Structure 1
Amino acid sequence: MEIGDLVSRDGIVLRGSVSSKRQALQAVADAAAHVLGHADAAPLMDALMEREALGSTGVGSGVALPHARHRDVDHVFAVLVRLETPIAFDAVDDRPVDILFGLFAPPSDGAGHLRALAAASRALRSPDLQQRLRQADSRDTLHALLVRQIVSTAA
């Protein structure tokens, strides 16, 4: 499983400033609801907040991997939200976050959820990919970078 397979162009959001971790997570939930074709992002937001209450998903270097399982989700998928201005996120390195890779899975797909988390963590640990994601100026460019990540990890 590779991250470029998990994110569609519709699941990529270049977002202006948010002022809190909650607003950043709401942007992730909104993007996921859009991908699913749901008008109400509240159930996804609740699932993200429930997971975040267990511990911050801020993994360091300005990256967060918020994730949740939810009954409205029928397959593992991800969204990418890039913020204009980094926000405090209680990350492991205490650095503010500007790249949020939100991952969603059905409650019954524990193995798929874990494989997707591992793939996202591996890919987003790359300082080169982080820099390129921060410099990208469109959803198409961001998506291409994620898909290109498949090629570079497969080589």
Structure 2
Amino acid sequence: MNIYSLINTSTILADFEIDNKEELLHKMVDVLKEEVNDKQLEDIRDAVFEREKIMSTGVGKSLAIPHGKVESIEKNYASFAVLKEPIEYDSIDDQPVNMAFLLVGPAGENRLHIKLLSRISRLMNSTSFRETLSECKTADEIYDAFHKEEVKYFGN
């Protein structure tokens, strides 16, 4: 499964201004409202915040990958944010975050969930790709950057 197929321009927050981690997570879940019903949206929110309580999803290199698994959904959903200014996120490297990729999937799909998290991590590990994303000012530019990078990195 391609990462760029999980996001679309309505689930990308470009040049986004936010004050803190909690607001960011709420907004990243909220942009999924067109994809899921109200109950699923709240289940997603609960899963993401519960996972964050266990351990911060700030993975270093100014990136967070909040994620969770949800009983009430049957497929994977994602959102992505590039922040105008970095925020404190309690990351493993103690550095603020300026990008976040949220991934939620069905509770029973452990293998696919881990595979997608791994793919996101590999893509986002590229310094040049993160620099490209940080220069993007619109959701369309970010989506195109993901598409190009994923095709370059993994092929079609």
- By the TM > 0.5 criterion, same fold? yes
Deviations 1:12-49, CA, capped at 9 Å, x for gaps: 11254222111111111112233335488433221111
Deviation at 1:100, TM superposition (A): 0.7
**Letter matched to residue 114 of structure 2:** L
Q: How does 1:24-103 map to 2 (within 5 A)?
A: 24-36=24-36, 38=38, 41-103=41-103
Q: Does 1:127 align with 2:127?
A: yes
For structure 1, which runs of at least 5 residues remain unmatched after alignment? none
Q: Partner residue of 2:147?
A: 147
Which residue does the alignment assign to 1:114? 114
Q: Give the deviation of 1:71 after TM superposition.
A: 2.5
Range moving further from structure 2, 76-85 or 38-47: 38-47
Instruction: Tell me the matched-pair count.
Output: 155
Please list every run of 5 or more consecutive structure 2 residues that lacks an aligned counterpart in the other structure: none
User: Distance in 1 between the 2:36 and 2:14 partners?
Assistant: 18
Could you say what secondary structure the match of 1:19 adopts?
A: coil
Q: TM-score, normalised by structure 1?
A: 0.91
Query: Following the alignment from structure 2 to structure 1, what is the Cα–Cα distance between the partners of residues 142 and 99?
Result: 11
CA–CA distance in structure 2, aligned partners of residues 90 and 50 of structure 1:
15
Pair 1:46–1:124, CA change in 2 (3 A): same
Compute the TM-score of the two structures, normalised by the length of structure 2.
0.90
Query: What is the identity percentage for the equivalent residue pairs of Structure 1 and Structure 2?
Result: 26
Q: Kindly indicate whether the alpha-carbon contact (under 8 Å) linking 2:62 and 2:99 is maintained by their aligned counterparts in 1.
A: yes
Match of 1:11 in 2: 11
